[in-house]
Amino acid sequence: MADAFIALVTGASSGIGEATARRLAREPGARLVLVARREQRLKALADELGSATVVALDLTQPDSPQRLLNHVQSEHGQLHMLVNNAGASWRSTFEEGGWANVAQHMRLNFEAPVRLTEALLPLLRETARQQADKTRPISIVNVASTSARVSRPNAGGYSASKYAFAGWSDALYAEERPHGVHVGLVLPGFVSTDGFPATEIRARAATRWMLSTPEKVAEAIVDAGPGGKAERYVPRPYWLAAAARLLAPAVVRRATGGGLFTTSTPGRT
């Protein structure tokens, strides 16, 4: 029988997290912990996958990290992979949304995964210490966004939270290497999901090619977790946008400020 592979996935009730849970369920010995607020959706997925448990909670609540640690400890006593995927975007200019909008993004997209990681890191390190099979690293995968490299109008709060998440993730990568915990960063571009419908991009033939799928991001999450990659853009050529932001910032400013990928309506992407 394969060794157990315990993975906790946040935001598993839809989109990228759901696709990641389906993908990880195919790993040998997989036993998943599925986390989000919509319990019925999590339970339906757990029933379908088998060998998965569900914790329905709001990750921004102060007691959520401890509740998840208690669950993982009592159910499994070890943890091989943490996928910090849950996140959302509430589109707004700064003039309209102000600090309240920025803070809302920071709470869910930055503070919540950082606090969850803080709670689970000792267990991840302990699992790494005890693990006999070193071929599949113990891992944390942080799902940021290409918005962690390039900001767009109406998404300043979202970008701020993802820039912060990516910056923190890079430091954690270096800090945890000596402790046997691999930290991978995934930066998706446009992926049509419940929370990020990408309506404008889907509507235009000229931009539709830019869309990726939750399944492709799930593969990147496996690459950046057990696969041991430090960083994955999805689709891969999106790293060019990040490079262009550094090498040709005026071009990127013209593109993002000139209407490309922007919407005049506040709300979701």
Shortest Å distance, C-beta 15 to ligand NAP: 2
Contact in structure between 93 and 266 (CB atoms under 8 Å): yes
Coil, strand, or helix at residue 74? helix
Answer whether 28's CB lies under 8 Å from 5's CB: yes
Helix, strand, coil fractions of the chain, as percent rounded to 5: 50, 20, 30
Pick 29 or 61: Cβ nearer ligand NAP: 61
Enzyme catalytic residues: 158
* Shortest Cβ 91–ligand NAP spacing (Å): 12
Question: Residue 195 CB, nearest distance to ligand NAP (Å)?
Answer: 2
Strand-pair partners of 33: 8, 53
Q: Tokens 């099979």, residue?
A: 133
* CA-derived radius of gyration, the chain: 18
Q: Which residues pair with 56 in a beta bridge?
A: 36
93 exposure class (CB count in 10 Å sphere: 0-12, 13-18, 19+): middle
The secondary structure of residue 232, as a DSSP letter, is: E
State the nearest-atom distance from the C-beta of 259 to ligand NAP, in Å. 19
Count each helix (H run) and each strand (E run) in the chain, helices first.
Answer: 11, 9
Nearer to ligand NAP, 139 or 147 (CB): 147
Name the site residues for ligand NAP (rule: CB under 6 A).
11-17, 36-38, 58-60, 85-88, 108, 143, 145, 188, 190-191, 193-196, 198
Q: Among residues 138 and 143, whose Cβ is nearest to ligand NAP?
A: 143
Residue 16 or 72: which CB sits closer to ligand NAP?
Answer: 16
The least distance separating ligand NAP from the CB of residue 226, rounded to whole angstroms, comes to 19
Residues 6+ apart with CB under 8 A from 119: 65, 66, 68, 69
> How far is the C-alpha of 234 from the C-alpha of 146, rounded, in Å?
9
